[in-house]
Amino acid sequence: MELVDYLYGSALYDEDEKKYKQYGLYEPITNSFVITHSKLHYITYLQHLFSSRFSLVVIDITTSINFDEKLIDNTCLDNWMLKKTDVRTLNPGQMGWTQVINATQLHKKIDKVDNSLLKDTLPYIIYALKIIHAFDDAISLMFGKHSGNINMFPDYRLYDYNFFDIYVKQPFDYSSYSQQTLEGLTYSRKEIFNIIYTEFNYEVAKEKMKPYLNEMVTELM
């Protein structure tokens, strides 16, 4: 898989907190890391967007006793696993919030399970990550705001509402907004996330997303 810059998901040193940060999405049934990233909020969004396919948990990789900033990234995910005792799955009724599990130790994977569904979905997950980054960058460039100041799910705080309710039950008409406004971008992003959550076919989803991707977002992907 050919990756560039942030898509490697390598550990990055946080100068403010004086420590490395790296998080992973983990599929506990087949003991497989799905993707890694240095920013927790990106991993959190991916966890919720793809919760309609997999039961995914968020892992803090840096707590592992054998952590090294070069130990794991998105080019070698399949080489590592956690022990079953390290992973606790969430109650399905609690999908509106995220629990971060501290890794005890990363273990070399010996017997690899062929998870064709996960492999087929990986390009979709990478594409979703590109979209999240692109919208963040577009908002920052156009309005001087950063992702930490903008709720990825407009009008609702992610941790206070059930994820299904956010996408399916809450009507709000943003259609009058231009894609060059902050409201327009957040509307487009909400519609794209709705597509990712509900459309399992990657190629079909990409076609459905096109009307919501303006020129700047597309160039930043």
Q: State how far the Cα of 24 lies from the Cα of 39, in Å rounded to an integer.
A: 10
- The residues spanned by each domain of the chain are 5-114, 119-220
Comparing 138 with 88, which gets the higher pLDDT?
A: 138
Give the pLDDT confidence of 31-67 residue by residue, as tens digits.
889 999 999 989 998 998 998 888 888 999 999 999 9
Give the pLDDT confidence of 66-119 residue by residue, as tens digits.
999 999 998 888 889 998 777 765 444 444 456 888 999 999 988 776 767 777
Total length of the chain: 221
Q: How far is CA 53 from the centre of its chain?
A: 13
Q: How far is CA 178 from the centre of its chain?
A: 26
pTM: 0.78
Q: Which stretches of the chain are assigned E, i.e. beta strand? A: 12-14, 19-21, 23-27, 32-37, 57-60, 80-81, 100-102, 107-108
Q: State how far the Cα of 131 lies from the Cα of 181, in Å rounded to an integer.
A: 17
